Amino acid sequence: MKATESGLAQALSEFTWENIKQPGAYIERETGHLYRVPPESLLRGSSPVISKLCTTPSTFVKLSDDPNTIVSKLRTIAADADVKPNF
């Protein structure tokens, strides 16, 4: 949890790639890359839209429940959470 300048606390959830089960906009903490996860990509029994393979696990921070949130807003949320956006 991080306190914002206005004094309000904002908690953003962190996930591994395998644990992303809800639609939303996620930022990869290590690279700053943005991933938009629409609801249809999480349907049970469907093939994943994106597959991520790497030797070191990544941490993803959920910036928004809405995968279509505008980029400028997502950048601000990421910066407030001390995650440098690279998008």
pTM of the model: 0.82
Q: What is the number of residues in the chain?
A: 87
Question: Domain range for residue 48?
Answer: 12-80
Looking at the domain assignment, is residue 3 inside a domain? no
Q: Can you tell me whether residue 80 is helix, strand or coil?
A: helix
DSSP symbols for 7-38: S-EE---EE-GGG--S-EEEEETTT--EEEE-
Question: How many domains, the chain?
Answer: 1
Looking at the domain assignment, is residue 87 inside a domain? no
Looking at the domain assignment, is residue 7 inside a domain? no
Greatest Cα pair distance in the chain? 44
Walk along the chain (87 residues) and give the pLDDT tens digit of each residue: 344 444 334 689 999 998 999 999 999 999 999 999 999 888 887 766 677 788 888 999 999 999 999 999 999 999 999 999 999
CB-based contact 16:57 (threshold 8 Å):
yes
Looking at the domain assignment, is residue 2 inside a domain? no
